[in-house]
Amino acid sequence: MEWEVVIGLETHAELATRTKLWCDCSTEFGAAPNTHTCPICVGMPGVLPVLNRKAFELALRVAFAFKCKVPPRTFFDRKNYYYPDLPKNYQISQNYCNTGTEGHIDIPVNGGSKRVRIHNVHLEEDAGKNIHPERSDADYSLVDLNRAGVPLLEIVTEPDMRGPEEAQAFMETMRRALLYTEVSECHMEQGHLRFEASISLRAPGAAEYGARVEIKNVNSMKAVTSAIEYEIKRQTRILNEGGKVARETRLWDDAAGATGRMRSKEEAQDYRYFPEPDLIPVTIDDEMRARVMAAVPELPLARKRRFIEAFGLPEYDAGVISDDRRTADFFEEALKTYDNPKAVGNWIMNAMLREMKQRGIGIVELKPKPAQVAALAKIASSDRINSPAAQKVFTIMMDTGDDPEEIIRREGLEQTSDSGDILPLVSKAIADNPKAVADFKSGKASAVKFLMGQVMRMARGKANPQVAEKIIQEELGKM
């Protein structure tokens, strides 16, 4: 029997602040263990946390980007549990009043889009890291608290996804949205971005959801998708044998390619949440709302759609150009100089992005400005220079950042449409090639092509081909 797959995802994103959530220790990744710590983030008794405003505003930016409801005032709660990487024995999080609720994100599905509801967006502190020695006879583990207290944003969806492909599309769309909003660097290998999936099955058309399994310990998007696929098979087998899926938390084992039981929901801890007494509530006043909202960009999928609809870009081109926010900004800025989205888009895709890749540089290190690339696109679509010359101008622009006009002048790349310049070349080509003339007279059209080649060679590519061909036809007609 076929079961309907139901998936909800929790996204954890480390916010791109310079300092931690409650203290001014650095958030930099990769430092020697326990060097980015202080009494606050190692959980000494008696110290007081102070909210990092920037972190709060980044959380708020995400809530607005996903069209969440945002309360006028929010606060933090203590989530009490013991674990070696959590020296305070509680995590400061939000439980009773989230930064945002009831939002949504649109994800691309089968050429269209699907709306995934966001249950809530909330801010909490990350925990440290337990380091287990590789030696199998070691009887100890180590704890690195550099990560303890790094601001962590949690984004919880409603169970709206219906298969691994939708979960994959969600993760990719979420990552791009967090990069676009510039709230997280999203380096998955540095643990900036982590996903946890909940999966259940139900009979098609059933009104109620089935018992869900939550999967932890997934370190990459690929692992999340594999874990979901594994769980679907496992739960399908149980249901088809007439069994019941237990509501539990399972751990993904990447090497084994399987999930294993971690704990059942019945044994789940009671976190004894209560409002954090050491922090005052945060008021989200009109000024803060307006300021943060102003920093929310159009999200990538919406921008891609607009590039297709308003500018007539092909779907593929729109996707490539909108993929990175700065590239998309560059494109739109360039259109202010030359309002021809297809031509400008082509130069960005086929010349600029390709050269950037070859040179291993990003858009911030790029020498040409949007107006200069637009100016070149405009010149190239006129008959002032031919295509190889335009490519040459672009390469020089990449090296120097000079204006295309200046490069064309300096390199003498302008092509001539002046018959006074072209006629002597045509006459010489005809005089030097009597066989081509004879061919033309006996009706071979290829003779014109041959003579064109001779003229263009003498002109070093700078003769306007249409004008040259016209003169060749005229001169041969006279013979």
Q: Give the binding site for Zn ion (CB under 5 A).
A: 23, 25, 38, 40-41
Question: Smaller CB distance to ligand ADP: residue 144 or 248?
Answer: 248
* Distances, alpha carbon 17 to alpha carbons 136, 184, 267, 298, in Å: 37, 8, 36, 22
Q: Which stretch binds ligand ADP (CB under 6 A): 152-160, 254-262, 294-302, 416-424?
A: 152-160
Q: How far apart are the first and last CA of the chain?
A: 84
- Residue 472 interaction partner, one of Zn ion, ligand ADP, none, beta carbon < 5-8 Å per kind: none
Which among 375, 325, 317, 326 is positioned nearest to 346, based on CA atoms? 317
Chain-centre distance of CA 246, in angstroms? 36
- Residue 41 interaction partner, one of Zn ion, ligand ADP, none, beta carbon < 5-8 Å per kind: Zn ion
Nearest residue to ligand ADP, using CB? Answer: 8
6 sits near ligand ADP (criterion: CB under 6 A): yes
Q: Is 330 helix (H, G, I), strand (E, B) or coil?
A: helix
380 sits near ligand ADP (criterion: CB under 6 A): no
Q: Environment class of residue 141 by beta-carbon count within 10 Å: exposed (0-12), middle (13-18) or buried (19+)? A: exposed
Q: In the beta sheet, which residues pair with residue 477?
A: none
Question: Smaller CB distance to ligand ADP: residue 41 or 92?
Answer: 92
Residues in the chain: 479
Q: Which stretch binds ligand ADP (CB under 6 A): 4-12, 63-71, 96-104, 326-334?
A: 4-12
200 sits near ligand ADP (criterion: CB under 6 A): yes
Q: How far is the CB of 214 from ligand ADP (least distance, A)?
A: 7
Contacts of 46 (CB under 8 A, 6+ apart): none
Q: Which tokens sit at 99?
A: 């930064």
Q: How far apart are CA 108 and CA 355, in angstroms?
A: 29
Question: Smaller CB distance to ligand ADP: residue 157 or 415?
Answer: 157
Question: Smaller CB distance to ligand ADP: residue 126 or 214?
Answer: 214
Among 11, 27, 95, 157, binds ligand ADP (CB under 6 A): 157
49 sits near ligand ADP (criterion: CB under 6 A): no
Q: Environment class of residue 336 by beta-carbon count within 10 Å: exposed (0-12), middle (13-18) or buried (19+)? A: exposed
3-state percent breakdown (helix, strand, coil) of the chain, nearest 5: 40, 20, 40
Q: How far is the CB of 5 from Zn ion (least distance, A)?
A: 43
153 sits near ligand ADP (criterion: CB under 6 A): no
Q: Which tokens sit at 448?
A: 């014109």
3 sits near ligand ADP (criterion: CB under 6 A): no
- Residue 429 interaction partner, one of Zn ion, ligand ADP, none, beta carbon < 5-8 Å per kind: none
Q: How far apart are CA 331 and CA 223, in angstroms?
A: 35
Q: In the beta sheet, which residues pair with residue 142?
A: 131
Asked if 118 and 155 touch (Cβ cutoff 8 Å), the reply is yes
Binders of ligand ADP in range 159-188 (CB under 6 A): 159
Q: Which stretch binds ligand ADP (CB under 6 A): 19-27, 194-202, 224-232, 347-355?
A: 194-202
156 sits near ligand ADP (criterion: CB under 6 A): yes
Among 3, 29, 81, 209, binds ligand ADP (CB under 6 A): 209
DSSP code of residue 91: E
Asked if 233 and 199 touch (Cβ cutoff 8 Å), the reply is no
Q: How far is the CB of 265 from ligand ADP (least distance, A)?
A: 7
- Residue 156 interaction partner, one of Zn ion, ligand ADP, none, beta carbon < 5-8 Å per kind: ligand ADP
Among 20, 212, 304, 378, binds ligand ADP (CB under 6 A): 212
* Distances, alpha carbon 202 to alpha carbons 4, 29, 166, in Å: 5, 42, 17
Helix (H) or strand (E) holding 79: strand 77-80
Q: How far is the CB of 19 from Zn ion (least distance, A)?
A: 8
Chain-centre distance of CA 241, in angstroms? 42
Binders of ligand ADP in range 9-28 (CB under 6 A): 9-10
158 sits near ligand ADP (criterion: CB under 6 A): yes
* Distances, alpha carbon 356 to alpha carbons 179, 315, 351, 455, in Å: 20, 22, 8, 35
- Residue 9 interaction partner, one of ligand ADP, Zn ion, none, beta carbon < 5-8 Å per kind: ligand ADP
The residue written with tokens 């100089």 in the block is 337
- Residue 10 interaction partner, one of Zn ion, ligand ADP, none, beta carbon < 5-8 Å per kind: ligand ADP
194 sits near ligand ADP (criterion: CB under 6 A): no
Which among 128, 122, 151 is positioned nearest to 24, based on CA atoms? 151
- Residue 25 interaction partner, one of Zn ion, ligand ADP, none, beta carbon < 5-8 Å per kind: Zn ion
Q: Which stretch binds ligand ADP (CB under 6 A): 19-27, 150-158, 228-236, 437-445?
A: 150-158
Q: How far is the CB of 325 from Zn ion (least distance, A)?
A: 31
The residues binding ligand ADP (CB under 6 A) are 6-10, 156-159, 198-200, 209-210, 212
